[in-house]
Structure 1
């Protein structure tokens, strides 16, 4: 697995934590070991530019996902084919605002957004109520089991990751 994490902001974060989370989600979703992912942390101006360019929406958002090879999850019997999963772009300042509202740390919010972004790259969405239920249930399960395996916090709500 190639998971690249780049922080283009002044926000301090543990890049290894995001790499470990992505590896965990890859394993749980039965992705090929050669799958590639990029996670980029940007400031509000950069996120606002992306949000306007790709979604035609004003203002910065929390997370955006840019799929590449349109990979889908595999199964215990058949791993997904190898390829470029895509890019996830996260805005730490927007995530920090959401974290305050949700009552957890900015890092937990960004881990939630990373999980959310990976699920979008795998074809999950939340436009319809049933899609949202499925995606957010899986998102919560993946993140909470990852945090529990590392002895981390388990106070995560589903307020973030609406991109």
Structure 2
């Protein structure tokens, strides 16, 4: 797995931790080992521009996902295809506010958001209640398993 982590946010970010999380999630989801992923940390201004341009909503958001090759998780008996998964863009300052409200660290919030973003790249969504239940349960399992092993 090739994961590029870029930090343009001004916040201190341990790029290796986020690359490790991405590798873990992609392996657990049976994504081809040559898949490529980009994780980008940005300022509120940049996130606001992206949020308005792509989602037609004002202001910054916590995470956006930009899929490239529409890759999906591997299934038993199926060989996953290689390709470029896409980009996960995070805004640490928004994540920091959410972390305070949730009672955990900013890093934990950003790890959660990264997992969430990767699942979106793999085709998961939470628009409908059943989809939300499935995606959030998977997201929780993946993150807790990763955190337990760190």
TM bin, normalised by shorter chain, reads over 0.9
Q: Which whole-Å CA distance do the structure 2 matches of 1:65 and 1:58 have between them?
A: 17
Alignment length (residue pairs): 150
Query: Which runs of no fewer than 5 residues in structure 2 stay unpaired?
Result: none
TM-score normalized by the length of structure 2: 0.98
Structure 2 match to 1:65: 65
Deviation at 1:79, TM superposition (A): 3.6
Corresponding residue SS for 1:9:
coil
Query: Aligned Cα RMSD in Å?
Result: 0.7
TM-score normalized by the length of structure 1: 0.90
Structure 1 segments of 4+ aligned residues over 6 angstroms from their partners: none
Structure 1 match to 2:49: 49
Corresponding residue SS for 1:86:
strand
Structure 2 match to 1:145: 145
Q: Which whole-Å CA distance do the structure 2 matches of 1:10 and 1:101 have between them?
A: 22
Query: Which runs of no fewer than 5 residues in structure 1 stay unpaired?
Result: 151-163
Q: Which whole-Å CA distance do the structure 1 matches of 2:80 and 2:42 have between them?
A: 29
Structure 1 match to 2:113: 113
Q: Which whole-Å CA distance do the structure 1 matches of 2:37 and 2:127 have between them?
A: 24
Is residue 31–residue 74 contact of structure 1 (8 Å, CA) maintained in 2? yes
Structure 2 match to 1:127: 127
Q: Bigger shift: 43-52 or 70-79?
A: 70-79
Q: Does 1:7 align with 2:4?
A: no
Q: Which whole-Å CA distance do the structure 2 matches of 1:64 and 1:13 have between them?
A: 18
Structure 2 CA distance for partners of 1:14 and 1:75, relative to 1, 3 Å: same
Deviations 1:40-62 (A, max 9, x none): 00000000000000000000000
Corresponding residue SS for 2:87:
strand
Deviations 1:88-124 (A, max 9, x none): 0000000000000001000000000000000000000
Corresponding residue SS for 2:6:
strand
